[in-house]
Chains A and B, each alone.
Chain A
Amino acid sequence: MHEKTVEAGVLEPCLEMKGLDFWYGDTQALKGIDLVVPRHRITALIGPSGCGKSTVLRCINRMNELIEGTRHEGRIVLDGRDIFDDDVDPVALRRHIGMVFQKPNPFPKSIYDNIAYGVRLSRKVGKTEMDRVVQDALEKAHLWDEVKDRLKSPATGLSGGQQQRLCIARALAVKPRVLLMDEPCSALDPIATAKIEDLLLELRDEVTIIIVTHSMQQAARVSDYTAFFYLGELIEHGPTRRIFESPNEQLTERYITGRFG
Chain B
Amino acid sequence: MTRTKTSEGTAPVDRGVPLFGRKSIDVGARGADALMRGVFFLGGVFVLFVAAAIVWVLLDNSVGFFSFVSPVEFFFHDVWHAVEGANAQYGIWPLVSGTLLVAAGAALIGLPLGLATAIYLAEYASPRIRGFLKPVIEVLAGIPSIVFGFFALAVISPLVQGATAPGTFLGGLFGNAGVFSAANAMIVVGIMVLPIVTSISEDALRSVPQHLREASLALGATRWETVRNVVLPSAVSGVAASFVLAVSRAIGETMAVTMAAGTQAKLTANPVDAIQTMTAFIAQKTSGDTPHQGPGFLSLFAVGAALFAFTFIMNVLAQRFVRRYREVET
Contact = CB atoms under 8 A, between A and B. Distances in A.
User: Would A and B touch once assembled, by the CB under 8 A criterion?
Assistant: yes
Interface of A: 61, 63, 66, 68, 91-95, 97-99, 101, 103, 105-109, 117-118, 121-122, 167, 170-171, 174
Contacts of A117: 216, 219, 221, 229
B16 interface: no
Interface in B208-241: 209, 211-212, 214-222, 225, 229-230, 233-234
A94 B216 contact: no
A101 B219 contact: no
A99 B126 CA distance: 26
Contact of A118 (B126, B127, B209, B221): B221
B219 A105 contact: no
Nearest to B328: A108
Contacts of A167: 215
B265 to A, nearest CB: 47
A121 B218 contact: no
Contacts of B220: 91-95, 118, 121-122, 174
Given A68-B127, A107-B230, A117-B229, A94 B215 contact: no
B126 A105 contact: no
B2 to A, nearest CB: 44
B219 A170 contact: yes
Contacts of B216: 107, 117
A93 B225 CA distance: 16
B225 A101 contact: no
Contacts of A118: 219-221
A256 B230 CA distance: 40
Nearest to A66: B217
A121 B221 contact: yes
A251 to B, nearest CB: 31
B217 A101 contact: no
Interface residues of B, number: 20
B219 A174 contact: yes
B126 A68 contact: yes
Contacts of B230: 107
Nearest to A102: B211
A63 B219 contact: no
Contacts of A109: 233
A97 B219 CA distance: 8
B215 A107 contact: yes
A91 B221 contact: yes
A91 B217 CA distance: 8
B126 A121 contact: no
A99 B234 contact: no
Given A117-B229, A121-B221, 8 more contacts: A68-B127, A94-B218, A95-B220, A105-B209, A108-B233, A108-B328, A118-B219, A171-B219
A164 B60 CA distance: 61
B214 A101 contact: yes
A14 B49 CA distance: 74
21 contacts: A63-B214, A63-B218, A68-B126, A91-B221, A92-B220, A94-B220, A97-B218, A99-B214, A101-B211, A103-B211, A105-B209, A105-B214, A107-B215, A108-B212, A108-B234, A117-B216, A117-B221, A118-B219, A121-B225, A122-B220, A174-B219
A105 B215 contact: yes
A-B pairs, top 3 by smallest CB distance, nearest first, are A95-B220, A118-B219, A99-B218
B127 A63 contact: no
A105 B210 CA distance: 10
A118 B220 CA distance: 7
Nearest to B234: A108
A63 B225 CA distance: 16
A170 B219 CA distance: 8
Contacts of B212: 105, 107-108
Nearest to B221: A121
A94 B214 contact: no
A134 to B, nearest CB: 14
B229 to A, nearest CB: 7
A121 B214 contact: no
A174 to B, nearest CB: 6
A61 B209 CA distance: 20
A108 B216 CA distance: 12
Contacts of A170: 215, 219
Contacts of B219: 94-95, 98, 117-118, 121, 170-171, 174
B210 to A, nearest CB: 9
Contacts of B127: 68
A94 B211 contact: no
Contacts of B126: 68
Contacts of A174: 219-220
A109 B230 CA distance: 9
Nearest to A92: B220
Contacts of B214: 63, 99, 101, 105
